Amino acid sequence: MRQGVIRRFRGWLPEVPDHAVTTIGEGDTPLIEAPTLSERIGAKLFLKFEGMNPTASFKDRGMTVAMSRAVASGSRACVCASTGNTAASAAAYAARAGIKCFVVVPAGKIALGKAVQVLAHGAEIVQIEGNFDAALRISQQIAGDRGDVTLVNSVNPDRIQGQKTGAFEVCEVLGSPPDALALPVGNAGNITSYWKGFSEWRDAGYSGLAPRMLGFQAEGASPLVAGHDFENPETVASAIRIGAPASKEGALAAARESGGAIESVTDDEILAAQGLLAREEGVFCEPASAAGLAGLLKLAGEGRGPEGTVVSVLTGHGLKDPDVILDRVELPEPVAATFEAVAGRMERLVP
Ligand SMILES: *Cc1c(COP(=O)(O)O)cnc(C)c1O
């Protein structure tokens, strides 16, 4: 049975009384060898497939802690701003906890699968005519205004605490920390979390050094690379379409202290990496999740890629965003229901 990250890593996490533990069996996601892509990047690559969490993104690791602590403190509702996955996760965990969920999202900017999840779980969704950064400001105000409502964005420290368990799992499965960890950076909570996890693991005296943290933003939403906020962030990778990252300091510290870096990749590089993961390794992640691999390919191409063992965190499942695929490839027209018509296609595929 999947016991969830709170029960599995209890000694490492903030206190949650038994009765308040709200879990759907998150964590314990696969670390998948990627032999073909390893050759491409010139290092031994593993994929930490966070799309295998209950709501199909890593957000569940933090949400279980944030929601459990909200329940323990007597909250009647949670609120969050979201580019989609935080909303999907909050909606599911609030349903599980039996409290109300209120999500604020940029109008028309949420990937289809994520919007469907929010609706399925019965959360209240408010679309604003503004971007994620505006949604976060408003959500913070709403939570600040009401003592019985908990903000469950990654500015809530319980989210960061829960998400650091991804680092513990990587260390456990590999037997020691990898040499480098690559991941997408949006609001910068997750890179902050992983660095916290690796640092705590090292400080607890387990073997190995903490890895170099390699964070990648989408070029059109790369405030940490440019050194200033983006008024109108734009990228196909909607999960990292953020112009003013709340955990900016955490991300910069992770890169600095680990000898890593935060760089940017283009939308074309992101989509190409998403395609390679799906077609060469059989792993389907959403566009934002492929930013880590896109970055590794870029560094390798420039002769400055990491060596040794490298983990790329695939933050969310590809089914979250079907439109990105359907924009580029179509289902073919039907053919006659005859052997000849169908066999002709097979012949074309494998002459
Ligand atoms: C939230 C999210 C990110 C970005 O994580 P941050 O903590 O905001 O940096 C990346 N990919 C996916 C799929 C996400 O849901």
Tens of pLDDT, residues 212-268: 999 999 999 999 999 999 999 999 999 999 999 999 999 999 999 999 999 999 999
pLDDT of residue 208: 84
131 in ligand 1 pocket by Cβ < 6 Å?
no
Q: Which atom of ligand 1 is nearest to the CA of 85?
A: 15
Q: CA-CA distance, 314 to 98, in Å (whole number)?
A: 30
Q: Each residue of 325-347: pLDDT tens digit? A: 999 999 999 999 999 999 999 99
What is the dihedral angle through the alpha carbons of 182, 319, 103, 218, rounded to the nearest 10 degrees? 40
Binding-site members are: 85, 186-190, 315
Residue nearest to atom 13 of ligand 1 (CA): 316
Domain 59-155, CATH 3.40.50.1100 — does that match? yes
Amino acid identity of residue 73, one-letter, is S
220 in ligand 1 pocket by Cβ < 6 Å?
no
Mean pLDDT of 314-319: 98
Among 194, 186, 200, smallest CA distance to 248 is for 186
Q: Give the chain's mean pLDDT.
A: 97
pLDDT of residue 2: 87
If you measure from the C-alpha of residue 344 to the centroid of ligand 1, how many angstroms do you get, rounded to a whole number?
43
Q: Are 186 and 192 in contact (CB under 8 A)?
A: no
User: Ligand 1, residues 49, 50, 58, 284: which to mutate, most atoms within 8 A of Cβ?
Assistant: 58
- Alpha carbon 90 to its chain centroid, in Å, reads 14
Q: Each residue of 88-116: pLDDT tens digit? A: 999 999 999 999 999 999 999 999 999 99
In sequence order, what are the beta bridge partners of 102? 79, 124
Concatenate the DSSP letters of all residues of 232-298 into one string. Answer: S---S-GGG--SS-TTHHHHHHHHHHHT-EEEEE-HHHHHHHHHHHHHHS---B-GGGGHHHHHHHH
pLDDT band at 193 (very low <50, low <70, confident <90, very high): very high
- pTM for this model (two decimals): 0.96
192 in ligand 1 pocket by Cβ < 6 Å?
no
User: Ligand 1, residues 118, 158, 190: which to mutate, most atoms within 8 A of Cβ?
Assistant: 190
Strand 44-49 to 31-33 pairing = antiparallel
First to last CA, the chain: 46
Domain 5-57+159-326: which topology? Answer: Rossmann fold (3.40.50)
Q: CA-CA distance, 310 to 297, in Å (whole number)?
A: 12
85 in ligand 1 pocket by Cβ < 6 Å?
yes
Mean pLDDT of 154-169: 97
If you measure from the C-alpha of residue 337 to the centroid of ligand 1, how many angstroms do you get, rounded to a whole number?
44
Amino acid identity of residue 20, one-letter, is A
More confident residue, 223 or 147: 223
If you measure from the C-alpha of residue 215 to the centroid of ligand 1, how many angstroms do you get, rounded to a whole number?
11
User: Ligand 1, residues 48, 85, 222: which to mutate, most atoms within 8 A of Cβ?
Assistant: 85
pLDDT band at 310 (very low <50, low <70, confident <90, very high): very high
Three-state secondary-structure class, residue 101: strand
Q: Outline which parts of the chain fall under CATH 3.40.50.1100.
A: 5-57+159-326, 59-155
> Which tokens go with 264?
């940017």
Binding-site members for pyridoxal 5'-phosphate are: 85, 186-190, 315
Mean pLDDT of 61-86: 97
Rg of the chain taking only CA atoms, in angstroms:
20
Mean pLDDT of 205-210: 87
258 in ligand 1 pocket by Cβ < 6 Å?
no
Q: Are 193 and 160 in contact (CB under 8 A)?
A: yes
Mean pLDDT of 144-158: 94
193 in ligand 1 pocket by Cβ < 6 Å?
no
